[in-house]
Amino acid sequence: MSHYRASLLFVCLGNICRSPVAEALCKSFVHTHNLPVHCDSAGLHGYHSGELPDKRTLKNCQQHGLNMDGLVSRKLKRDDFYQFDYLIAMDQPVFEKLNTMVNPPELKNKIKLFRYFETNTSETCVPDPYYGTDSDFELVYQICKRVMPELNQALVK
């Protein structure tokens, strides 16, 4: 990944609802702005490993014209803490779990909270839509969309 200025890994629980949307929006953003940034996503657990994003996520993203081709769920691996410059947690519990997993502890400063980059909010989580409705999936999209410029501005120097 040496030709990239930054590599970002978005992390949620299942890697089928929230982090794939962040990955796809980040890829779209860096493509539009011609930024040398590598984006990927992963889940803390492997319940959905090898699966496409959730059908409700695909439907919502299709409505927004966001390309989700090629996205397949995978479980976070230990090597990700070395391979990526930043591991970006989609909510507070994921952030805390990443902080307990990281070893050696010097890598801790790679772990960020997604909504930490959003100005004018005290919210810390992109709410998990898995047991929710279409409007919860729309909220995931809207939060991820508005955070993307600020996140890239902060991390891509």
Site residues (vs ligand 4NP, CB under 6 A): 12-18, 43, 47, 128, 130
Instruction: Give catalytic status of residue 115 as yes or no.
Output: no
Catalytic entry in 12, 17, 39, 61: 12
127 upstream amide cis, omega within 30 of 0: no
Instruction: Give catalytic status of residue 134 as yes or no.
Output: no
The residue among 35 and 139 lying less far from ligand 4NP, judged by its C-beta, is 139
The residue type at 148: M
d(CA 101, CA 128): 21
CB of 86 to ligand 4NP, least distance (A): 18
Helix%, strand%, coil% for the chain, nearest 5: 45, 15, 40
CB of 44 to ligand 4NP, least distance (A): 8
CB of 140 to ligand 4NP, least distance (A): 7
Catalytic entry in 40, 80, 91, 128: 128
Instruction: Give catalytic status of residue 18 as yes or no.
Output: yes
Closest among 141, 150, 157 to 57, alpha carbons compared: 141
Catalytic entry in 18, 39, 80, 144: 18
Per the listing, tokens 């319940």 go with 47
d(CA 114, CA 88): 6
**Residues labelled catalytic:** 12, 18, 128
